[in-house]
Amino acid sequence: MKLRSILLVASAAFLLTACGGGTSEGSDPNALSITLAGNTTVEVGSRVKLNATVNNDGERLGVSWESSDSSIASVDGEGYVTGLKEGEVTITATSLADTSVSSSWQLAVLPSSIPSVAIEMGAGTTQVGTSLSLEADIYNPTTYTPRIQWTTTRGKGNLGGARTERASLTGNSIGTEIVNLEVNIGPYTIKQSVNVYISDNYNDPAKGWVAISDAETFIENFFTGGDINGSYYLAADIDLGGYEITTANRGNLVGVLDGRGHKISNFALSGEAPDTQGYSANAGFFNNIAASGAVRNLHMVANLGESASGWGSSALTKGCDGKIDNVLLEVEHSFDNGMLVIPDNDYYCPFNAGLVGVPANSAEIYDCVVSVTGVGASTMYADCAYPSGSGAAQTFTFDGIYTNSTLVGGQTWDWGGAVADTSGYVIGIDWANASTSEYYSLSNSVWNVAEGSMPSLKVM
């Protein structure tokens, strides 16, 4: 445990250095001048307000603010100073009417009197069967003894030393684990969390990984109309050249497809023969992702047109009993019948989805970004079309779903209800104005996350 001692600072009054005590120089009472007032100390992690009175500023343009060392303390445009680390700093206010007129204020940044906690770890990734070290970096200026508790959110890793400052996480399944730390120090309860990506071992000969780097090899392995066994990863982006994926040639993914951040694009989806309403049901890149199957770290660009609009059609897979992790799906719905429900016969159409038509059994869908566009965007579910369940408890999981759409959860139907738990969804995202804090579960080992842009996958 790193218990940092408090530096006791006996501070006398700080001189105001503005060519005079806090007021800009000039003997002429009608001259432009600035007078500063406020605290002379601020604690690390806290902020104080400095006030600038500008005399004889007929235009009332105000002042700009500047810190002499922004690593010690920062100042915003309104004069709020935030302490960042211990030390001394000079804050200067400069007239916007005449930049030759300024006034300065000296400020001491003192240690915080409030405890704080940070999680320290090495790389933010580990592999199944290997361990990652975690450490609670505790700043404790009190006399209370910290009580520590580490937990995980998704159960993809096992914790060792869960009540000590040094813990370890051993990966037991692939995907992003959220590790939580809670420290109680007297009246203070402090919580922190980090994301750890647990990856597969691509060098394990027992898994017989097959690398795919061209469209021809991909088509040969994935569009045979049967079960797709084995472990595959993409070594390059795959442009399928307009290849048509039908209910006859697509397969059931029993094995693993790991995109390793690469993109699959330029394919056409077709569902079953059109019904009496003219819609083609159950389209999808895969027919089903079996319980043993998984799709992860994949960027897919897809289009759902009229031939792929109908009951349970989906861009990625018609059905899913297995796992979908870290998928970036950009899907255009280029067909729109003008409504989601046909009132005369309760016929839901286009009634299709982005990720999966029918999530069932113990499917796990984690950390996916879905961008829905096109004329039919308002009639397509970003996540799933109609969950199965037959009235039984839903055993599938959706968590960490990020989408610009507001239509999620699927429809209630004879054999099941809409997704019951959407607490792990962030919907209606405006990609251009979104904050990185919205993407709380996306691991920076897998994703590029930046202010004002849609997240993208890193190529591994």
Per-residue pLDDT tens for 145-168?
999 999 999 999 999 999 999 999
**CA pair distance 305, 43, nearest whole angstrom:** 59
DSSP string, 368-387: EEEEEESTTGGGEESSBS--
For the cut 80, the answer to whether the pLDDT of residue 22 exceeds it is: no
Give the count of beta carbons closer than 10 Å to the beta carbon of residue 447: 24
Q: Is the pLDDT of residue 9 over 50?
A: no
Locate the DSSP E strands across 209-306. 210-212, 227-228, 231-234, 238-245, 252-253, 256-258, 263-269, 286-289, 294-304
Mean pLDDT for the stretch of residues 44-54 = 95
Q: Is the pLDDT of residue 128 over 80?
A: yes
Read off the pLDDT of residues 310-368 as tens digits, 9 standing for 90 and up: 778 899 999 999 999 999 999 998 887 555 554 554 544 556 899 999 898 789 999 99
Q: Who wins on pLDDT, 334 or 198?
A: 198
Q: What is the pLDDT of residue 14?
A: 36
The whole-number pLDDT of residue 118 equals 96
85 or 386, greater pLDDT:
85
Give the three-class secondary structure for 432.
Answer: helix
**Residue 455: is the preceding peptide bond cis (ω within 30°)?**
no
For residue 337, the model assigns a pLDDT of 59
Q: Residue 276: its pLDDT value, please?
A: 67
* Portion of the chain with pLDDT greater than 90, in percent: 73
Amino acid identity at 200 = D
Domain 116-199 CATH assignment equals 3.30.70.20:
no
pLDDT at 197: 95
Task: State residue 251's pLDDT score.
Answer: 95
Strand partners, 269: 245
Of all residues in the chain, what percent carry a pLDDT higher than 70? 88
Q: pLDDT band at residue 388, thresholds of 50, 70 and 90?
A: confident
How far apart are the C-alpha atoms of 66 and 301, rounded to whole Å? 46
Structure tokens at 173: 């399944």
The string of pLDDT tens digits covering residues 412-455 is 776 677 888 899 999 999 999 999 999 999 999 999 999 999 99
Residue 103: pLDDT above 90? Answer: yes
**Does 131 score more than 50 pLDDT?**
yes
pLDDT at residue 381, as a whole number: 92
Q: Tell me which of 212 and 311 has the higher pLDDT.
A: 212
- Counted residue by residue, the chain has a size of 460
Q: How confident is the model at residue 389 (pLDDT cuts 50, 70, 90)?
A: low
DSSP state of 8: P
Angle at CA of residue 283, ends 282 and 286, nearest 5° = 105
User: What is the C-alpha to C-alpha distance for residues 242 and 305, in angstroms, rounded to an integer?
Assistant: 13
**Distance separating alpha carbons of residues 177 and 295, to the nearest angstrom:** 17
User: What does the pLDDT look like over 257-283, one tens digit per residue?
Assistant: 999 999 999 999 998 887 766 667 889
How many other C-beta atoms are found inside a 10 Å radius of the C-beta of residue 75?
A: 23
- Please report the pLDDT score of residue 305 as a whole number: 86
What's the DSSP call for residue 246?
-
User: Which pLDDT value is given to residue 109?
Assistant: 98
Averaged confidence pLDDT in the chain: 88
Return the CATH fold of 1-112: Immunoglobulin-like (2.60.40)
Distance CA 101, CA 19 (A): 10
CA nearest neighbour of 337 among 372, 314, 310: 310
Distance CA 418, CA 114 (A): 45
Mean pLDDT (whole number) for 2-6: 39
DSSP 8-state symbol, 279: -
Separation in Å, CA 199 to CA 72, 173, 260, 445: 38, 8, 10, 10
Task: With residue 218 as reference, give the H or E element that holds it.
Answer: helix 215-222
Question: What's the pLDDT at 168?
Answer: 96
Global pTM reads: 0.80
Structure tokens at 9: 């600072």
Q: What is the predicted pLDDT for the residue at 415?
A: 66
| Adjacent-strand bridge partners of 348 | 341
Averaged pLDDT for residues 178-196: 97
Q: Is the pLDDT of residue 234 over 80?
A: yes
Distance CA 91, CA 17 (A): 10
